[in-house]
Amino acid sequence: MNALIVEDEKSLANEIASYLKNEKMICDVAHTGMEASEMIAVNQYDFILLDLGLPDYEGLDLIKEAKKAGSQAAIIVITARGAVEDKVKGLDLGADDYLAKPFALIELYSRIQAVARRKFQVNTSDVTIGDFAIDINARKVTCNNSEVDITRKQYDLLQYLVLNKNKVLTRIQLYEHIWGNMLDDQYDSNFIDVHIKNLRKKLNEYASTDWLVTVRGVGYKAVID
């Protein structure tokens, strides 16, 4: 998953980013509302971790902008503000959770996982597709009780497709989710095709992957009943 951390306190922003990167997340950081606004407008994020008390921007306005732009990111408001009114306003505008400072990083990550489960409508850490089982917490794939040997990036691709079951994901969406943001002139759609091909090859050594469907000219989807 990839996240945008919007926090003007640079030491805290870097601390959050470092922790989440250790948990295999991709992180961008914005220290001002203007930076965040520009990044939200052009990039696709799974999460926006938003401090309301920005020096140049009203944090609640960023929630409005993200929703107006059609962002599918889950938003967790992180702020020192303790007023009930701020919490209610944020949630009413579409924020998914609220965490008051100070907080433990392990609690933040736990909130992220809980929001992700709600977002993808997953009630357990185990997801079954065909003959394969995915343990989301352990980041492990098995087939008939045998662990499947795939790389970290291949696992990330598979998990993202499965969590977005029956939804067509474009090559750009897959790229940004797994590898982070890129400049337009750096993007090559064949890059994703090659990784999907290698993932299929690995999985097919264990069982059929006819549920992993190519949508011509668009991207890929995992078809799950």
Domain holding 160: CATH number?
1.10.10.10
- Whether residue 76 contacts residue 97, with contact meaning beta carbons closer than 8 Å, is answered with yes
**Statement to judge: residues 87 and 147 lie in one domain:** no
**Statement to judge: residues 152 and 174 lie in one domain:** yes
Q: Sort 216 into a burial class: Cβ within 10 Å, 0-12 / 13-18 / 19+.
A: exposed
| pLDDT beyond 80 at 23 | yes
Summarize pLDDT for 142-154 with one digit per residue, the tens.
Answer: 998 899 999 988 9
**Helix (H) or strand (E) run with residue 42 in it:** helix 33-42
- This model's pTM is above 0.85: no
| pLDDT beyond 90 at 179 | no
Band (pLDDT 50/70/90 cuts) for residue 182 is low
**Statement to judge: residues 112 and 19 lie in one domain:** yes
**Statement to judge: residues 113 and 172 lie in one domain:** no
**Statement to judge: residues 141 and 185 lie in one domain:** yes
The residue type of 89 is K
Domain count, the chain: 2
**Statement to judge: residues 64 and 140 lie in one domain:** no
| CATH number (domain holding residue 18) | 3.40.50.2300
Q: Which of 96, 119, 142 is the last residue of a domain?
A: 119
> Mean pLDDT, the chain, as a whole number?
87
